[in-house]
Amino acid sequence: MAADGRLAPVEPRSAPGPDAPTPPSGTGRFRGPDPRLSLVVAMSGITVAALLGAFVSARLGALAIALTLAVAGTWRALAPRATQAAGIAVRGKGLDVFTYLAMASVIAFLALTVPRLG
């Protein structure tokens, strides 16, 4: 702080500090999970569900969402590490699997039992 009470300007750093992560040599990218596959599967299921719900019937759309959630829950249950389900891993494995499969069950039950759904 300067003598007159103002904050002194901060000089920008030109190089990262010693604790900054650096990409592996030769790749130019950081290491980490590649969530593309699990995200593509989940978003494809949601897209198909939206199209079925809009153009075929709401019941088929809801069943497609339930199927997508069941696939995500199964994927999360069978993935040995969270890095292999990076796009769908939210909390602990048990909680994720329970949440996905419970939501799939409830949505499928409602889709099959609600009258005049489609």
Mean pLDDT of 64-89: 85
Contacts of 58 (CB under 8 A, 6+ apart): 117, 118
Condensed to tens digits (0 to 9), the pLDDT of residues 7-50 reads 766 666 665 555 555 555 555 554 555 567 888 888 999 999 99
Give the torsion sign (CA, 34, 40, 42, 43): positive
What is the rounded average pLDDT of the residues 71-84?
Answer: 82
Q: Which residue would you say has higher pLDDT here, 84 or 21?
A: 84
Average pLDDT in the 57-79 region? 93
Determine contact, residues 76/88, Cβ cutoff 8 Å. Answer: yes
CA torsion sign for 87, 92, 97, 102 is negative
Better-predicted residue by pLDDT, 8 or 70: 70
Q: Would you say 59 and 52 are in contact if contact means Cβ atoms under 8 Å apart? A: no
**pLDDT attached to residue 30:** 45
Question: What pLDDT is stored for residue 46 in this prediction?
Answer: 95
* Domain range list for the chain: 36-113
User: Helices in 1-118 by DSSP H: which ranges?
Assistant: 36-55, 58-78, 93-113
Residue 56: what pLDDT?
95
pTM metric for this prediction? 0.68
